[in-house]
Amino acid sequence: MPAFVLFGLLVLAPIAVAVYTSFFKWNGLGGLPENWIGLDNFTRMFADEVFIGDLQRGAVLIILSITIQLPLSLAIAMLLNQKMRGRAFYRLLFFAPYVLSEVITGVLFTMILSPDEGLANQILGAIGLEWLQSSWLAEPSTVMMSLFLVMTWKYFGFHMILYLAGRQGIPKELGEAAAIDGASSWEQFRYVTLPLLGPTIRISVFLSIIYSIQLFDLVWVLTGGGPVHSSETMAVTMFQFGFKRTQIGYASAISVVMFLISLVFALGYQRFVMRRDTQGAITTMGDQR
């Protein structure tokens, strides 16, 4: 009961308040909202080019994370699972960015990607690649790739640790048996390691997608959603309208849509993708009993 009360106060109640206020035109002041407008906030939202752009940019970040960030994390995890000098140091080094807060990471890369004195442009100039220098966070054509670069630097170590833990849970005898049968290193990875890493990979993909949908703090510190909304996400748009323009009703509608997208994805992913993992865990617990 205590846990249920806390869950109700900290999770269910805010969701209910957001749903309720999303049907009003309200600035957040003067008590409870009274100006009922029905679904107008939602109609306005899906007619807003900025919000539609938020959905598109979120989809781009999800695709890039799945196709670039996670395979990179997996490759480094497989490399650091091998016997090599300084392996523990490299694991710590690659995981360290995840320990930093998003605010610290944002401030750090704001300086690194600065167009004038930034380290990135200085390095490019020093090696003769001046033509690649750019205002990384101030150009609509480069800001999304710069944001994804920072996201990858910040979070690939977390996924690497997940994959490394999953890899170390695979018995060595399976790889040795495959090697005795004549399987190459690639074939061992493709037909032994990768299938057994399936549950870990599915969890990693789930966490990566949910984070991309709810991305806020890193974007806010790096770009504030600019330039010209070109790096804005749903969470940044919600913050802009809720706290900058005091349009609490419209911001609540955006938060409701974010919640529904996350909820539908989570339920669908669990139902169709993680079903085998859940059933396997239940079966294992039943066998132990």
pLDDT score recorded for residue 282: 47
List phi, psi (to 5°) of 24: -125, 155
Task: Indicate if the pLDDT at residue 283 is higher than 70.
Answer: no
pLDDT score recorded for residue 287: 53
Strand partners of residue 36: 24
Tell the burial category of 53 from Cβ atoms under 10 Å away from its Cβ (0-12, 13-18, 19+).
middle
Q: Which of helix, strand or coil describes residue 108? A: helix
Q: Which of helix, strand or coil describes residue 24? A: strand
pLDDT band at 289 (very low <50, low <70, confident <90, very high): low
pLDDT in tens, 264-281: 999 999 888 887 776 654
Helices (H) then strands (E): counts for the chain: 17, 0
Task: Indicate if the pLDDT at residue 284 is higher than 70.
Answer: no
Q: Which of helix, strand or coil describes residue 36? A: strand
* Portion of the chain with pLDDT greater than 90, in percent: 74
Closest CA to 260 of 26, 22, 6: 22
Domains and CATH numbers, the chain: 49-288 (1.10.3720.10)
pLDDT in tens, 174-208: 988 998 988 898 999 999 999 999 999 999 999 99
pLDDT score recorded for residue 61: 95
Residues 69-73: contacts with CB within 8 Å, 24+ apart? 69/148, 69/151, 69/152, 69/155, 69/156, 69/159, 69/208, 70/159, 70/201, 70/204, 70/205, 70/208, 72/152, 72/156, 73/156, 73/157, 73/159, 73/160, 73/162, 73/163, 73/204
pLDDT in tens, 208-226: 999 999 999 999 999 999 8
Amino acid at 122: Q
Q: How far, in Å, CA of 169 to CA of 173, rounded?
A: 12
pLDDT in tens, 232-270: 999 999 999 999 999 999 999 999 999 999 999 999 998
pLDDT band at 34 (very low <50, low <70, confident <90, very high): confident
